[in-house]
């Protein structure tokens, strides 16, 4: 049986290859990535043909022998690469004094924190699914592909059946209790933050092997909520090696993306004028302009993205950066911390 994470990982790889292929003509970063990836693919395809030829000429046992040799070599290379990567993390943490000398792969969150995040993942998934239903009910375009409409009764029944209704925060109770089709546009807009929270939680809890990178120009994906609600029974069996150091990288990258997107919106006049912000935005944009320098948003750079798509990317990146910062502190804590409490105390 193919592991559930393999199709998602292959989808991410294919999307990355598609982006660098389209941009290769004017982006030296893309050309370098395209050459490396293409050579790797050609090597794999060539070796598969070689094994097939060997099986025909020398027999299946000869082909199996060569496959065993190359397989053990690949496993050894991957193991050595992971070992060196972990050693670099340990060395950097030791020099900066940010953490004690410990093996990153051995990280394990306290069970109380793990259980709390599992509960939050299901709650956020239900809110995202309910938000999708509200958007669908208010949409005038009946052909849009949002998916099935899950009613308040169905979702609230799920929460009560899993003992999660009592775990809702007051604001979430109000949202879950509202009649179908009665959410405001502002409440529907929260699906952007919930989507990024769920992306991070699915990754941290081991549901997804990777998180969709911002340079893939992700959008709000309502399926993330429906899928997790269907997999609720197996959520506790998932395992992940994601630690605070991995989430910190996502936090920093998301913050950089949000900053670049806001600067671009400021230069375009979307953000209200302010002399100091104008200078900052102009300087930041000037330092990022260029096909081989600027942040990518799919096959375009941020400077080339349409305004509506750029707004969405800015919101997604800001939501990811904020929640990633929360998860860094949460995984380093010994007891669960409510996101609302953390956000109230977090420095601006």
Q: pLDDT tens, position by position, for the chain (348 residues)?
A: 334 566 888 888 889 999 999 999 999 999 998 998 888 888 778 777 776 777 777 777 666 766 666 666 566 555 555 544 444 443 343 333 344 434 445 578 899 999 999 999 999 999 999 999 998 887 755 444 555 556 788 999 999 999 999 999 999 999 999 998 899 999 999 999 999 999 999 999 999 999 999 999 999 999 999 999 998 988 888 888 799 999 999 999 999 999 999 999 999 988 887 888 888 899 999 999 999 999 999 999 999 999 999 999 999 999 999 999 999 999 999 999 999 999 988 765
Task: Please give the Cα distance from 58 to 50 (Å, whole number).
Answer: 11
Q: Is residue 321 classed exposed, middle or buried when 0-12, 13-18 and 19+ CB atoms within 10 A define those classes?
A: buried
Nearest residue to 19 (alpha-carbon basis) of 204, 212, 190, 278: 212
The Cα 197–Cα 120 span in angstroms is 9
SS3 of 264, please?
A: helix
| SS3 (DSSP) at 133 | helix
What is the rounded CA–CA span in Å between residue 72 and residue 77? 9
Domain boundaries, the chain: 5-105, 110-213+220-237, 244-345
Instruction: Tell me the two tokens of residue 184.
Output: 């405001």
Model confidence, pTM: 0.83
């Amino acid at each position: 049986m193919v592991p559930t994470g393999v199709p998602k990982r292959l989808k991410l790889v294919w999307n990355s290859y598609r982006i660098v292929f389209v941009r290769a003509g004017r982006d030296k970063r893309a050309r370098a990535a395209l050459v490396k990836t293409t050579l790797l693919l050609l090597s794999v395809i060539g070796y598969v043909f070689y094994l097939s030829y060997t099986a025909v000429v020398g027999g299946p046992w000869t082909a199996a022998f060569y496959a065993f040799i190359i397989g053990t070599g690949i496993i050894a290379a991957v193991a050595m690469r992971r070992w060196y990567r972990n050693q670099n993390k340990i060395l950097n943490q030791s020099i900066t004094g940010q953490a004690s000398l410990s093996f990153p792969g051995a990280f394990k969150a306290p069970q109380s924190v793990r259980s709390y995040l599992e509960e939050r993942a299901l709650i956020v998934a239900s809110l995202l699914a309910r938000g999708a239903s509200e958007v669908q009910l208010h949409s005038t375009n009946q052909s849009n592909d949002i998916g099935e409409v899950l009613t308040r009764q169905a979702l609230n029944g799920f929460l009560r059946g899993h003992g999660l209704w009592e775990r809702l925060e007051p604001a979430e109770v109000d949202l879950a209790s509202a009649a179908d089709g009665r959410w405001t546009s502002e409440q529907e807009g929260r699906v952007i933050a919930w989507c990024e929270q769920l992306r991070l939680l699915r990754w941290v809890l081991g549901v997804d092997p990777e998180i969709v990178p911002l340079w893939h120009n992700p959008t709000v994906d309502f399926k993330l909520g429906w899928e997790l609600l269907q997999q609720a029974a197996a959520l506790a069996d998932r395992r992940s090696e994601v630690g605070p150091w991995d989430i910190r990288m996502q936090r920093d990258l998301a913050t950089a993306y949000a900053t670049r997107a806001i600067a671009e919106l400021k230069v375009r006049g979307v953000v209200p004028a302010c002399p100091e912000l104008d200078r900052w935005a102009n300087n930041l944009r000037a330092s990022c302009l260029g096909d081989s320098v600027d942040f990518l948003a799919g096959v375009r750079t941020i400077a080339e993205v349409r305004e509506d798509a750029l707004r969405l990317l800015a919101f997604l990146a800001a939501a990811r950066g904020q929640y990633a910062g929360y998860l860094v502190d949460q995984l380093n804590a010994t007891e669960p911390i409510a996101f609302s409490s953390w956000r109230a105390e977090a420095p601006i």
